[in-house]
Copies of this chain bind each other. A is one copy, B any other.
Amino acid sequence: LTAGKCPQIDAARVIADLRELDRRTGGPGGARRLAWTDEWREARALLGELLSQIGISSDRDEAGNVWARLEGDEEPAVAIGSHLDSVPSGGWLDGALGVLAAAGVMRSWVSSGQRPPRSLALVDWADEEGARFGHSLFGSSAFSGTFDAPHAGELCDQTGQRLADVVAADGVDSRRALEAGRRRARLGCYLELHIEQGPVLERRGLRAAAVSGCVGIERHRCRFIGQTGHAGTTPMTSRRDAGLAACAAALELEQIAVRCAGTATTGSLTLRPGIPTAVPGEAEMLVDVRHAEAAQLHVMLQAVLGAARAAADTRRCGLRVERVWGIAPIEFDETLVVLAREACAEIAGSDFALRSGALHDAAEVARVLPVAMIFAPSRGGISHAPEEDTSDADLTAAIETFDRLCTKVLISRGPIAERVA
């Protein structure tokens, strides 16, 4: 069997499915598929409809990941997918592209009447974004075995609700989430299509690229504790303003990131009591620090925590630091990345691999399975925002490149087949 004789994905249909998803769960304010909410459930219901149309049923594992299988001639299966959840006011393509393209791959095989040479397993990972609790890759980390249930279950959102209680409403018992790892036994590798969420492909004029791995991330909560006081009567020089301590730390973090050639982001900052007439007695910031090299990531993190400590000391504030979540840098599977580059060359006319600064479920799955990813470009490099977009032409090229990569792995023989067996 050669790639040319295999069914081809209908990219236009995948794009139409993405627009339907956007119609149901997005709009001018952006995507609203926040994990563990009704809109996320509605997105998953649409996936169920699409799979039903081609006669494929789905089920959920102990971590809330949705799985669907199409049996082929050989086992183990090639897993394909991404995540349907989004950040609040997110983009229409982030995650959804990979899941609906995976459904498109399955549809092409079913429609053709051909039995795939190897089984396919579609997966929609639960809560990739971690937007609510700061814990990214919920479902895929449970699958890979790195999920720390006792720690994660106690994480709270900004209203004080516990992760364990919130996921329970979706039938997930976080203490049993690691049992999702049993699905690994019947899988040989994992392939994922995703938008880049950055500016590299657009700047280089590429319609698709292979991904060689993911940066490492450290995410910490820094709580500055000063003294609440009256805005009109507390002299400037005797204040212990926790808000200004956090502001000073946030500005210093930026300098550290520039110096270390990584990224550091203060995306969440909450002042308490948070009213105009009170000097903030408490400020809580969530910092996200990233670097491609494990050693440099460690150096950056130490500098960041040192800067937070210095900012607290300067304003006579206390500081409590809590590690919310982290992941080590990871390289994807060398053999599969070569196949991904070949697919890019054959379909998109370019051969380029880059390391992802964004996090993906693939970064967790790569700890237990051979993994490769394809990126589609992001207009203006913008993501996690309503403006996130990719042209239909670029989407088509990337979807077809991903389809080609799947085909290559499905029909592989010799050393590549051994790699995924």
Contact = CB atoms under 8 A, between A and B. Distances in A.
A30 B276 CA distance: 18
Q: How large is the interface on A (under 10, 10 to 19, 20 to 34, 35 or more residues)?
A: 35 or more
Interface string A334-359: 00000000000000000000001111
A39 B338 CA distance: 66
Interface stretch (A41-49, A163-171, A241-249): A241-249
Contacts of A257: 236
Oligomer: number of copies: 2
Given A229-B385, A232-B356, A235-B199, A267 B263 contact: no
B267 A288 contact: no
A268 B274 contact: yes
Contacts of A248: 247, 251
A278 interface: yes
B382 A87 contact: no
A263 B288 contact: no
Nearest to A278: B384
Contact of A243 (B234, B267, B288): B267
Given A232-B358, A356-B232, A275 B271 contact: no
A269 interface: yes
Contact of A276 (B219, B238, B276, B382): B219
A247 B250 CA distance: 7
A409 to B, nearest CB: 26
Given A227-B382, A231-B288, A238-B199, A268 B267 contact: no
A286 interface: yes
Given A233-B198, A277-B130, A358-B233, A251 B244 contact: yes
A236 B263 contact: yes
A212 B385 CA distance: 52
Of A238, A276, A384, chain B has the most CB atoms within 10 Å of the CB of A276
Nearest to A272: B89
Of A129, A217, A219, A232, chain B has the most CB atoms within 10 Å of the CB of A232
A78 to B, nearest CB: 27
Contacts of A134: 276
A278 B274 contact: no
A279 interface: yes
A88 interface: yes
A275 B88 contact: yes
Of A198, A219, A273, A385, chain B has the most CB atoms within 10 Å of the CB of A273
Contact of A382 (B198, B229, B274): B229
Contact of A277 (B235, B237, B384): B384
Contacts of A279: 265, 267
Contacts of A230: 197-198, 357-358, 382-384
A287 interface: yes
Interface of A: 87-89, 129-131, 134, 136, 196-199, 215, 217, 219, 227-238, 241, 243-244, 246-248, 250-251, 254, 257-258, 263-269, 271-281, 286-288, 290, 324, 356-359, 378, 381-385, 387
27 contacts: A87-B273, A87-B278, A88-B275, A130-B277, A196-B233, A197-B233, A198-B232, A227-B385, A228-B384, A228-B387, A231-B267, A232-B290, A234-B263, A235-B263, A236-B254, A236-B263, A241-B265, A243-B250, A251-B251, A265-B277, A266-B280, A267-B276, A275-B384, A276-B288, A277-B288, A277-B384, A278-B385
